[in-house]
Amino acid sequence: MARMTTTDPLASFQWLNMPEGAGGGPLDVIFSVAFFRGLDPAQVVRRFSRGDDSGQESDFDGLDEKALEFVHETHGGDGGGHVGVFQAGEWCVAIEPYGWMVTLHEVVTKLSRGCEVLAVTRHDYAAEHSFAYAIDGTIVTGYRLRHPYDRYGSDPDRLNGFMRELGMGLDKPADDTEWDAVWDTNHDTAVPRGFALAAKVTGVPFTSDLLGRPMLVGRIRER
């Protein structure tokens, strides 16, 4: 019997979109993932720690345990306080459980100095899932994942070709009918589309098996 294959570009990223009522998935409903090109894992950890920490070898369970402990200590208002980083081809992948720091404008611009950073945040409680692509201290393209027509940055149209391939509506809705259609298209699939876009830019699909990689874990210092 022939093996069935899927042509759905979002299929590999649906695990990142699990609703809270269904358990939220291994990263739960608040997390960020960033891709760095031009730095090694220890250098990435030092960026997050402001030079205080080069990271300790761990696995995802160790990272999650440290982040959850930090959340309990700080009552959740400061994210997870830790990042786990590993190499994936030309890029490093940085996982920030329970956190949203990396897509903040003032943070991603500092993190990207002298390198390239693409970051995606899922944040169900704030209802603001975010995408930021920065090079050498400048945000090139950014948008809220549910609003791909509202892009900003020094070159907001840089990724339009990839975004269209993923079925994103790039034109601002003109009337209520169009608003409803755009909402229906973008609301439930915003997070998988954001990670599919990240994969097109970096060539690194953030699939669930990557959580099994050994990583360097370090603290995130306030910027």
Strands (E), 145-220: 215-219
Structure tokens at 121: 């945040």
Candidates 192, 202, 167, 161; CA nearest to 181 is 167
Inter-residue contact 123 to 100 (CB < 8 Å): yes
116 inside domain: yes
Q: Strand pairing of 116-123 and 130-135?
A: antiparallel
14 inside domain: no
92 inside domain: yes
pLDDT by residue (tens digit) across 184-212? 667 789 999 999 999 999 999 999 999 99
In which domain, by residue range, is 176 found?
24-219
Q: How many domains does the chain have?
A: 1
Mean pLDDT of the chain: 92
Inform me whether the pLDDT recorded for 174 exceeds 90: no
Q: What is the pTM of this model?
A: 0.93
19 inside domain: no
pLDDT by residue (tens digit) across 108-145? 999 999 999 999 999 998 768 999 999 999 999 999 99
Inform me whether the pLDDT recorded for 1 exceeds 60: no
184 inside domain: yes
Whole-number Å distance between alpha carbons of 143 and 85: 24
Burial 13-30 (b: 16+ CB within 10 A, else e): bebbbbeeeeebbebbbb
Burial 158-167 (b: 16+ CB within 10 A, else e): bbeeebeebe
Which pLDDT belongs to residue 215?
Answer: 98
180 inside domain: yes
Which of 8-12, 43-47, 174-178 is the least confident region?
A: 174-178
200 inside domain: yes
**Cβ burial, residue 148 (10 Å; 0-12/13-18/19+):** buried
Which pLDDT belongs to residue 6?
Answer: 57
Residue 141 has φ and ψ, to the nearest 5°, of -145, 135
